[in-house]
Structure 1
Amino acid sequence: MGTHMATVSWSSDGEFLSGKYSRAHEWLFDGGAVVRGSSSPSVVPLPMSDATAVDPEEALIASASSCHMLWFLSLAQRAGLDVASYRDEASGVMGKDARSRIAITRITLRPVIAFKGHQPDAAELQRLHHEAHEKCFIANSLLSEIVVEPA
């Protein structure tokens, strides 16, 4: 199945010992992409966080959404469906898990999919979403609930 790599890089802005250091950092991926990361301003207040950067919670939600979409597209193509577009406004809820630890306890995917030609019925869409969820590596790796609410 392979190994996947990401490098996370941070350096001090000189305020480390005061606790008022920047949480901004970079994610460097093996294909060359660089993404600015930071703690969420809802966890660590500004200016120590960077509101324009991707926080780990957002990245987890996007990963679950992206994985589901990629499997859905693959399965739809194999079923002979012509997908014109796919958009998901995914969200995540943080709360206490069964061990009373703060965690993302629920991820909700809200895909809106447009098709060309044959329009699948609700049962066919539900089957495709279920199979995509079952195959998604990210969903299989998480303990939190992932709900798909297609529009």
Structure 2
Amino acid sequence: MSSHTAEILWERHDGRFTDNRYSRVHRWGFDGGAVVAASSSPHVVRVPFSDPSCVDPEEAFVASLSSCHMLWFLGFAARDGYLVDRYADAAVGEMAKNAEGREAVTRVTLRPAVTFSGTLVPDDDALERLHHEAHESCFLANSVKTVIEIAGSWSHQ
């Protein structure tokens, strides 16, 4: 069993707060030293109280699911002898009311575009199997109620 940590820091920099007119900009810090500027989404809290140049929790959630899937996919592709040259994803998360009537990221669609080279290239069935194995193994996909779809493509160089 392992544990994972993140440090979140927000500070009020002026006298306003109880009028709900305060900045939502904050900082995420990770154990390896990475620091990320974060904010609420401008879709949730209007600018200037949010900052669209920062990462918001919803897009970080989508990126985390995509990254987890990719890492498992790459591992399984390497195990099976496929040479992956590039993996890009344009993942999209959809906000809607969930079964309990609460606003949630109810669906994430992964759109991986994978480029292979070498003599061994997966056919459509093998590619589907790799994505299925990656989805089934992804710690984050196993941790959420969100529907995760995979609509990918691949090419050979």
TM category (shorter chain) comes to: over 0.9
Q: Match of 1:98, SS?
A: coil
1:131 aligned residue: 133
Unaligned runs of 5+ in 1: none
1:94 aligned residue: 95
Q: Match of 1:18, SS?
A: coil
Instruction: Measure the CA separation in 1 of the matches of 2:13 and 2:49.
Output: 10
Instruction: Measure the CA separation in 1 of the matches of 2:106 and 2:18.
Output: 33
In the alignment, structure 1 residue 119 sits paired with structure 2 residue 144: no
* Superposed structure 1 runs of 4+ greater than 3 Å apart: none
Instruction: Measure the CA separation in 2 of the matches of 1:87 and 1:100.
Output: 33
- Root-mean-square deviation over aligned CA pairs: 0.6
Unaligned runs of 5+ in 2: none
Instruction: Measure the CA separation in 2 of the matches of 1:17 and 1:106.
Output: 34
Structure 1 or 2: more helix by fraction:
1
Q: Match of 1:137, SS?
A: coil
Q: Which deviations, in whole Å up to 9, do the C-alpha atoms of 1:49-95 show, x marking residues without a partner?
A: 01000000000000000000000000000000000000000000000
Q: TM-score by structure 1 length?
A: 0.98
In the alignment, structure 1 residue 2 sits paired with structure 2 residue 18: no
Q: TM-score by structure 2 length?
A: 0.95
Percent sequence identity over aligned pairs = 54
Instruction: Measure the CA separation in 2 of the matches of 1:13 and 1:40.
Output: 20
